[in-house]
Amino acid sequence: MPVIGWIGLGQMGHRMAAHVAAAGYPLVVADAVSTDLAPKGARVADSNSEVGERAEIVILSVPDGAASLAVCQDLTKAKTRSVEVVIDSSTIGMSAAQSAHDLLKGHGIAYVDAPVSGGIAGAEAASLSVILGCRHALLERVAPLLSKIGGHLFHVGDKPGMGQAVKLLNNFLSATAMVATSEALAFGVAVGLDMQTTLDVINRSTGQNTASRDKFPKRVVTENYDGGFAAAMMAKDVRLYLAEVEKAGSASPIATEIEALWTAFDAHSPGADFTRIFPFVRDQKSGRGPKR
């Protein structure tokens, strides 16, 4: 088996890396913040460059495009480079994916645009959707490895950035569902309805969505607000989506409003879990919370 490098051991990354290690791949890991969650038996590298020296395939799970490009720069500086393929599972946007591809191509390293969807639960269960924008030859090479972290591999295009496009529009829909469901259930609560009973009706009716089926019953009704995804990351993803929509000249009347609301929520509640958007939306008209 090839040696696999893993850079980024955050909420998603360490769970995905654990599945790769459990499948028997030799693993060398790095993280800019902490490697405390490195899979048992993995070699901990002193730097990203060392990962590039020891691993044939390197998987990235980092917060944004700037981090991804910085890691790619580090990998190109490996003194005795082994890395041949970089798989980027991060959500970084189309432009950053193309830039990473171009940077690595100049050093003879292939780039696979492979953002993932499914959240912490999907990472834990190895049931993520992996959305791939790359050449078919690369897809065939990396599919056996990616099948260890994803239950569904989708090849959406041959160019880097195509995976990002699908991931961004998916996250925009998820963000919109969360906001719209918050507004609808805030109305229900305001007129005296029980939230769980209302959800039971919605989830057997035409208004059902991922927020009503999963986030609200498990995270909002319970008031645990523990979805495991930061509001700041959702705001970032919606901003990326809106930027790409504007670049494409596509329609964006809803995206403009959704982006403004997520940005306002992130500013109001730094570090909050994204499921806490419900009380923020609920309080918008009541006067108990800040206005956008």
Q: Which residues are tagged catalytic?
A: 167
Alpha carbons 277 and 163: distance in angstroms, whole number? 27
Segment (H or E) for 19? helix 13-22
Q: Which of 140, 134, 74, 139 is nearest to 107 (CA)?
A: 74
Partner residues linked to 129 by β-bridges: 117, 152
Residues 6+ apart with CB under 8 A from 57: 2, 3, 4, 5, 83, 84, 85, 86, 87, 142, 145
Angle value at C-alpha 206, between 205 and 209, nearest 5 degrees = 95
Alpha carbons 5 and 140: distance in angstroms, whole number? 19
Q: State whether residue 224 is helix, strand or coil.
A: coil
Cα within 13 Å of Cα(68), Cβ side: 31
Residues 6+ apart with CB under 8 A from 176: 254, 258
Alpha carbons 184 and 186: distance in angstroms, whole number? 5
Q: Contact, 262 vs 270, CB < 8 A?
A: no
Q: Which of 20, 81, 57 is nearest to 142 (CA)?
A: 57
Q: Contact, 85 vs 110, CB < 8 A?
A: yes
